[in-house]
Amino acid sequence: MAFEKTFVMIKPDGVHRGLVGDILSRFEHKGFKIVALRMLNITPEMAEEHYGEHKEKPFYKGLTEFITAGPVVAMVVDGDNAITAIRKMVGATNPQDAVPGTIRHDYGMHTGRNLIHASDAPASAEREIPLFFGIDQILDYTHHSEKWVYE
């Protein structure tokens, strides 16, 4: 097994549409462990750091306006192969390309309102987690059902 931590963020559309509980439940029901969780307003500076790789893209301005337009729910999720597995649960960037059963397909319509962010690689998770959480905010505990999730 390859246990890893990934950064996940429910974007302002997910919060305003009342989907926080449903989205969190999907990760819990799958067997992942939430090890850090906070609600916050992203500042323009944080948006620039988080989405800096897209600075030259035509959608960058709209993306940063959207991500700072309301509260987000940020979390660190822990589990076997978490980075790849959670990206699969999130689905394709454009909800219209996302496969049924994924979060972006099931709740979304357009790329600029795609509800959720998840780290796309170990290097992204290592960069993104410290933008939102101090080391003392990431909890180390054992799920009581761990032996019923992992063989």
Q: Which residues bind ligand ATP (CB under 6 A)?
A: 54, 59, 63, 93, 111-112, 114, 117-118, 120
Considering the complex, state which of residue 17 and residue 143 has its C-beta at the smaller distance from ligand ATP: 17
Least Å distance, CB 145 to ligand ATP, is 28
Least Å distance, CB 147 to ligand ATP, is 32
Comparing C-alpha atoms, which of 34, 37, 42 is closest to residue 11? Answer: 42
Distance CA 151, CA 140 (A): 20
Spot the catalytic one: 29, 54, 105, 117.
117
Active site residue 117: yes
Least Å distance, CB 93 to ligand ATP, is 3
Considering the complex, state which of residue 36 and residue 90 has its C-beta at the smaller distance from ligand ATP: 90
Q: For residue 99, report the phi and psi dihedrals to the nearest 5 degrees.
A: -75, 140
Q: Are strands 72-80 and 116-118 parallel, antiparallel or unpaired?
A: unpaired
Considering the complex, state which of residue 16 and residue 54 has its C-beta at the smaller distance from ligand ATP: 54
Least Å distance, CB 114 to ligand ATP, is 5
Considering the complex, state which of residue 79 and residue 108 has its C-beta at the smaller distance from ligand ATP: 108
Residue 22, judged by CB atoms within 10 A of its CB (0-12, 13-18, 19+), counts as middle
Q: For residue 43, report the phi and psi dihedrals to the nearest 5 degrees.
A: -85, 160
Please list the alpha-helical segments (H only) found in the chain: 12-16, 20-30, 44-50, 60-67, 82-90, 103-107, 122-132, 146-149
Catalytic residues: 117
